Structure 1
């Protein structure tokens, strides 16, 4: 059966001196380190294509940081960045705030903290996983249509939706400790999809921009 590998690329580091949870807020740009991460990933994909990979599709979340992360890869591979709304960051009640114990103690937030399994403060994990995996399957099928069996796609997205999709693909519980997500800045969660059935048949995680992680922001995404 035809298959395709879809690389879920988390965006690079964001310039966020206030340390807020920026979520879906507009105009949060990459930091200088984040731009270097994006360029490093572009070099990684360029080397992959030199070695025979056929990357024929590049999509990004509509948010600024994802579009900016995609740009160097688009230039390196000669691809257009297509916008994919299904891989946008998760909705979150705490968007725009510093999430710390003092903020969480405010009574106005209490009703959003009653169910961490869903979670009650934002978009359900199940909904995030479903929309991202649907986008992955569609990207895999489009890649095969454009480039034949084995052609690949890149989707530039955000930590939490990528992690929820990975947990779902691996058959694991979606509730988790945000500090333990294996999804660093500019990392790749690569899913190989059987395009006939839409099933994820294998998954691989890599960090092509690992050299830029020391000293980078470590606050989990939404």
Structure 2
């Protein structure tokens, strides 16, 4: 079994429904990104990640950057660990309400343009070959993976804090939970 680290992005400068569709990090988020890097580098050398993968969104790329720089590697972009796709017909103002509604239900009940049960399985599948990697992702994508690992159909099973590091194991065909990252309240709900 190889270890991988699933890390929620640091605190963004804006939230869903605000003017910026792809905000970067605020000052607290940048400090969280550095703290995540410091934690990963504090691990024994044989347990540190050797690769860095990020969602395409700016807040994840900016959270991943200090770790990638410290490891001397490029950030690999993977849409498979990206944010949950929202229905095309939703306006930016309607996204927070849609997400709050989704969090109250089950993966098979989310209304939208695609099969969200398949989306969550693809998110988890994208991690299977990521042993030895720090993967920077999002609240919902992390919940997608955690709900599968826990055998849950509920959308919200975990409240990862900004820059929370969850440790998983993979043998290339199966994921397992090693340890949950830090949980906190969030502005999502």
The reply to whether TM is greater than 0.5 is: yes
| TM-score normalized with structure 1 length | 0.70
Q: How does 1:10-29 map to 2 (within 5 A)?
A: 10-16=8-14, 19-21=15-17, 25-26=21-22, 28-29=23-24
User: Structure 1 residues 20 and 55, CA, compared in 2 at 3 Å: closer, same or farther?
Assistant: closer
Corresponding residue number in structure 2 for 1:171 = 151
Corresponding residue number in structure 2 for 1:37 = 32
Q: How does 1:1-222 map to 2 (within 5 A)?
A: 3-16=1-14, 19-21=15-17, 25-26=21-22, 28-50=23-45, 52-93=46-87, 94=90, 96-97=92-93, 116-117=105-106, 118-121=109-112, 124-140=115-131, 152-176=132-156, 181-195=158-172, 198-207=173-182, 218-220=186-188
User: Structure 1 residues 159 and 95, CA, compared in 2 at 3 Å: closer, same or farther?
Assistant: farther
| TM-score normalized with structure 2 length | 0.82
Determine if contact 1:20/1:98 at 8 Å carries over to the other structure.
no
Aligned equivalents of 1:190, 1:157: Cα separation in 2 = 13
Aligned equivalents of 1:99, 1:154: Cα separation in 2 = 28
Determine if contact 2:146/2:158 at 8 Å carries over to the other structure.
no
Determine if contact 2:170/2:176 at 8 Å carries over to the other structure.
yes
